[in-house]
């Protein structure tokens, strides 16, 4: 009988999903690797085959979050036409993603806090900034597309992208604090319209 072949990528994703569940309950600072192993129904040794440390596991979860978020946006935006429509759909899809993945929202703020913390002189989550820079770059590319087509004013695309994402992040934080309801049907439209008023010709 041949040995069972393990799909390592699928197994890694299962472990990360289990870790996200644990993080949603306990945060990313108050857990032990054995908690994740139990949640993922694997041995601690198996867990260390995939992740060398707590920091490696946290970084993996952040990477999974970004891939899921970007994948959701890409799926929603693939049929969009002009840059204005793409931007509106991106904003709406961002709100949809966090409404559908409510547990993820609080963890995201833990990730951001971890990305600015250091341990032994090294970032606690090395690579987190790279993932966020990629998102900024994609939004900046969308804004540049609008500038090239003469739809948007010739603004600093990268700065505009940062402002858009910072505003989204701020609303998400306000949502966690109970100050904003991100499941409001009118909020995405109002948000994108307010932003577009600043860059439309």
Same domain, 60 and 115: yes
Q: What is the mean pLDDT of residues 115-129?
A: 68
Are residue 124 and residue 191 in the same domain, yes or no? yes
**Smallest Cα–Cα separation from 71: which of 61, 81, 60, 63?**
63
Q: Does position 59 have pLDDT exceeding 80, yes or no? A: yes
CATH assignment at residue 24:
1.10.10.60
Parent domain of 5: 1-51
Q: Quick one: 161 and 190 in the same domain?
A: yes
- pTM score: 0.82
Residues 91 and 181 in one domain: yes
Residues 6 or more apart whose Cβ sits within 8 Å of residue 71: none
Is a pLDDT exceeding 60 seen at residue 1?
no
How many structural domains comprise the chain? 2
Is it the case that residue 121 has pLDDT exceeding 80? Answer: no
- Provide φ and ψ at 172, rounded to 5°: -65, -40
Which residue is it, tokens 């439309």? 200
């Amino acid at each position: 009988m041949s040995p069972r072949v393990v799909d390592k990528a699928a197994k890694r994703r299962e472990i990360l999903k289990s870790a996200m569940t644990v993080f949603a309950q306990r945060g990313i600072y108050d857990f032990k690797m054995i908690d994740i192993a139990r949640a993922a129904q694997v041995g601690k040794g198996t867990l260390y085959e995939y992740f060398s440390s707590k920091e490696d596991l946290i970084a993996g979860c952040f990477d999974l979050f970004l891939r899921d978020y970007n994948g959701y946006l890409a799926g929603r935006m693939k049929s969009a036409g002009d840059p204005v429509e793409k931007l509106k759909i991106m904003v709406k899809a961002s709100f949809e993603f966090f409404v559908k993945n409510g547990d993820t929202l609080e963890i995201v703020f833990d990730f951001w806090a971890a990305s600015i913390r250091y341990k032994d002189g090294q970032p606690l989550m090395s690579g987190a900034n790279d993932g966020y820079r990629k998102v900024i770059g994609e939004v900046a590319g969308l804004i540049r597309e609008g500038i090239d087509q003469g739809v948007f004013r010739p603004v600093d695309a990268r700065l505009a992208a940062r402002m858009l994402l910072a505003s989204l992040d701020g609303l998400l934080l306000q949502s966690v604090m109970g100050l904003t309801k991100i499941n409001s049907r009118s909020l995405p439209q109002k948000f994108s319209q307010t932003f577009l008023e600043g860059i439309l010709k």
